[in-house]
A and B are shown apart, each in its own frame.
Chain A
């Protein structure tokens, strides 16, 4: 706590009047962000629970479906997201240290990793939907056994990775927002809450993918 501001800061423009100290204000903001992330856990949790129940009921179909996942796209995207989490964590660190230039550069690299993830995901979706006719609905085609159950597997695949991709799109928007304001010099060693909270969101979305990757790509030892 060595570099915390003094307990009473009367003229700090970043300190809202209903907080006593900047530290209290930051802790309140971080706690608020975590409350939001808990609602996100609830949102994704419902889909994970649904996945688990159908995986239990349609055990063989889930193995069949998993064998049609693009193992390498999924693995490379995992690495891309982990790299983006590193640059995001380093961006928050640079902002904490008041290093404006490196903070902006690291945020921009994070955006590039995010866009790379979405690009790879797009190529993957294109293959599933256009080439393989695996999008659930009237056009769904599957040559193997358990066609209807495999269609359910693909419903979960598109719903869960789709909502994850939507969170990535929102994340890229949020990181762009803080990158712009970091470039404008709005954040410094005593005020960087937006960067920190966007970072928490980004890492949360990364964690969702950390679980989606094994659940869809790794449940069968046979890879496409």
Chain B
């Protein structure tokens, strides 16, 4: 990672994509989709998160595998927190 230097053009392209996705998410938020408003917004947000993490934070260029293990473990932990918490609350009315 230390040796990788991305081009200025790449960074500007990523930034333009992020601005484009922001305009897109703001525009589609006016559509009446009910519960799917937030689903669509979060899908776009995740696309933006990936662009920032992979290119601006350079995750794509990390050569040290242990660092990748740290990142994946952190995200996996977050999924445990969010998904397992929700399985509890969603399934309570089923009983």
Question: Which residues from 12 to 51 on chain A have a C-beta closer than 8 Å to any C-beta of chain B?
Answer: 22-23, 26-27, 30-31, 34-35, 37-38, 41-42, 45-46, 48-49
Contacts of B44 in A (CB 8 A): 214
Q: Counting CB contacts under 8 A, is B5 at the interface?
A: yes
Q: In the bound complex, what is the Cα–Cα distance between A71 and B19 (angstroms)?
A: 16
B15 touches A86 (CB 8 A): yes
Contacts of B63 in A (CB 8 A): 27
Contacts of B70 in A (CB 8 A): 31, 34-35, 38
Residue in B closest to A201 when the chains form the complex, CB atoms = B57
A79 touches B22 (CB 8 A): yes
Contacts of A89 in B (CB 8 A): 6, 11, 55-56
B74 touches A41 (CB 8 A): yes
A34 touches B71 (CB 8 A): yes
Residue in B closest to A4 when the chains form the complex, CB atoms = B3
Q: Mark A177-220, 1 if CB is under 8 A from B, else 0.
A: 00000000000000000000001100110110011011101111
Contacts of A61 in B (CB 8 A): none
B29 touches A53 (CB 8 A): no
Contacts of A22 in B (CB 8 A): 2
A221 touches B82 (CB 8 A): no
B37 touches A218 (CB 8 A): yes
Q: Counting CB contacts under 8 A, is B95 at the interface?
A: no
B64 touches A85 (CB 8 A): no
Q: Give chain B's interface secondary structure class.
A: helix
Q: Counting CB contacts under 8 A, is A176 at the interface?
A: no
Q: Counting CB contacts under 8 A, is A57 at the interface?
A: yes
Q: Counting CB contacts under 8 A, is A120 at the interface?
A: no
A27 touches B45 (CB 8 A): no
In-complex Cβ contact of B67 among A31, A57, A203 (8 A): A31
Contacts of A85 in B (CB 8 A): 15, 18, 52, 56
Q: Counting CB contacts under 8 A, is A116 at the interface?
A: no
**A to B CB contacts below 8 Å, 13 in the list:** A4-B3, A27-B2, A27-B64, A30-B67, A31-B67, A86-B12, A89-B11, A215-B38, A218-B25, A218-B38, A219-B38, A219-B41, A223-B29
- With A49-B81, A83-B15, A221-B32 known, 11 other A-B pairs at CB within 8 A are A2-B3, A27-B1, A34-B67, A41-B78, A52-B86, A56-B90, A82-B19, A85-B18, A89-B55, A206-B56, A220-B37
